[in-house]
Structure 1
Amino acid sequence: LSRLPVYVTPADAAADAVLDEAWEVMTRGRRTAEAALTVKGRQVVVPRAAGEAARFSFADLCEKPLGARDFLAIADRFSTIFIDHVPVLGEGMRNEAKRFILLIDTLYDHNVRLVVSAAAPPPQLYTARRGNEVFEFERTASRLIEMQSHEWLEDWAGRQRGKVVPVEARQAQA
């Protein structure tokens, strides 16, 4: 994956083709199927999963009422996450922006590889000019930039070795 683009913009048909190719490389032709994670008695749907990889649309993750526990369950279960079609987030998308910020923080903190198609480069993804999210999104943009760097991708395997979480701890988090 370190040889393929992991942040593709704009989120158009060409980006879809790049993410499809990266998905094929990542899953090595394994069967892809919908999966579900149980979090506090609820089901978090994973539209496409194969081995350690999961693929979502932005809408799947940020336009639904998901929160920190849901994102932790995803980060604990999958080592690589694909997110298709991240839009530019403006004034009317405060809730979606907050979820996206939380999602990226969780994936970053849990050393999850990220492959994204987005409408704009990270610094231009959030266009609102007021509210706490403006400053929070600066960190998110910085993390998105770091997560697509060669160093992040090359060091990923080493960070994964330190990620082993005992089953009991995973169950306690859920």
Structure 2
Amino acid sequence: MAPKQPGLVNSISRLFVAPSNRAVPKSLYVYGNVGTGKTMVMDLFYDTLPIDRKRRVHFHAFMLDVHARIHRIKTTTAASDPILPLADDIAKESYVLCFDEFQVTDIADAMILRHLFTELFDRGVVLVTTSNRHPSELYKNGIQRQSFVPCIDLLMKKCHVLSLDSGTDYRKIDRERSQHPVFLHPLNAATRQSINQLTDKLTHHQPLTPKTLRFLGRELIIPEQANGVARVTFKDVCANALSAADYLEMVKHFHTIILTNIPRMTMKHRAEARRFITLIDAMYEAKVTLIASAENSIMDIFNADEGQDAIADQMRLMMDELQVDVSEVSSPLFTGQEEAFAFQRALSRLIQMQSKDWVNKDLQ
């Protein structure tokens, strides 16, 4: 971290004083390809920002919090528009709001964000966010995207839009690897033996027992866990209908997740692939150690080209039922382009998560 120079700190302090005392500074939207340092730059900014009213949160967690607050406002108050008291609360808590991995893939989120950002900017909140997409590419070709365009226009008006794209994925630069390999393949007896040995080492030979996580009025059963280590299969957490809320809850309770039997995925498995991507995002954000066994190497566990025909047929059937124009089949949300794009980020993170400075110290 760069040293805090008095002159620099004083300059930043003058910039981020209360909005009632001076003009509100423009927000910042940083975008670029995977592994180019966007999150690192935002974290450096956040850590050196000399104010108390600031919040740094991953976009998945931010939207989960937003949905939970909206539900609470609707069930406990008579507010006709829950976004207004929500924006009031967020503005009171955070003058500067930083979140990572801004993306919009859901129509409900798109509509909430359009209204919420308008109210937050009106209240003087400064947004600092990172994304793999330029604002104009957000929710591209999504259902009813035209309704989201005003939010894009608002971001372009209120934010400095900065490209941080050196062409290098710094996560893929050679790093010192952990003493023990942590991404094991193929799925055979030798891999199973290695996984068992790593499990014993990390749990200090404690017996594995089930644990039930209770949150948001629901339950998630972890079939095997001990000493802060969860052992789950790909089928347990990616083939079942779990969401970002489940994965964010998991990483609160476990410093290490042993994920076994990861299959080779194609576009026929796009739902499982998206859950896997979301799980990796949650683990990366929380700096959780991943031990994994897979059918193929990291670079070969996902094929975005295979299975496209089946996806197109499924989408056409769904669109016929919803009476949506068939031209929507070209949408990246439906053809799997979003999954292919997001998987590149996941692969980049998986490579970094094998490094010595990332892996649980018990394996050093």
Flag whether TM exceeds 0.5 (same fold): yes
Instruction: Specify the alignment match of 1:58 in structure 2.
Output: 234
Deviation at 1:17, TM superposition (A): 0.7
C-alpha distance in 1 between matches for 2:291 and 2:217: 29
Are positions 1:15 and 2:191 aligned together? Answer: yes
The within-5 A match list for 1:34-45 is 34-45=210-221
Deviation at 1:152, TM superposition (A): 2.0
Q: Select the residue among 313, 338, 342 that pairs with 1:132.
A: 338
Give the 3-state SS of the residue equivalent to 1:98 in structure 2: helix
Please say if residues 55 and 83 of structure 1, whose CA atoms lie closer than 8 Å, have aligned partners that are also in contact. Answer: yes
Are positions 1:47 and 2:223 aligned together? Answer: yes
C-alpha distance in 2 between matches for 1:64 and 1:95: 10
Deviation at 1:32, TM superposition (A): 1.2
| Gaps in structure 2 of 5+ consecutive residues | 1-177, 306-335
Please say if residues 123 and 138 of structure 1, whose CA atoms lie closer than 8 Å, have aligned partners that are also in contact. Answer: no
C-alpha distance in 2 between matches for 1:57 and 1:21: 17
Are positions 1:114 and 2:281 aligned together? Answer: no
Normalising to structure 2: TM-score of the pair?
A: 0.41
The one-letter code sitting in structure 2 at the alignment partner of 1:100 is F
Instruction: Specify the alignment match of 2:352 in structure 1.
Output: 146
C-alpha distance in 2 between matches for 1:11 and 1:140: 21
Deviation at 1:103, TM superposition (A): 0.2
Deviation at 1:100, TM superposition (A): 0.2
Instruction: Specify the alignment match of 1:4 in structure 2.
Output: 180
Deviation at 1:39, TM superposition (A): 2.4
The Cα offsets for residues 57-90 of structure 1, whole Å up to 9 and x where unpaired, read as 0000001111011001100000000000101111
Specify which structure has the bigger relative contact order, considering alpha-carbon pairs within 8 angstroms and separated by 6 or more residues.
1
Please say if residues 122 and 142 of structure 1, whose CA atoms lie closer than 8 Å, have aligned partners that are also in contact. Answer: no
Between structure 1 and structure 2, the one with the greater Rg is 2
Please say if residues 232 and 260 of structure 2, whose CA atoms lie closer than 8 Å, have aligned partners that are also in contact. Answer: yes
The one-letter code sitting in structure 2 at the alignment partner of 1:67 is S
Instruction: Specify the alignment match of 2:202 in structure 1.
Output: 26
Aligned length: 154
Instruction: Specify the alignment match of 1:100 in structure 2.
Output: 276
Deviation at 1:96, TM superposition (A): 0.1
Normalising to structure 1: TM-score of the pair?
A: 0.84
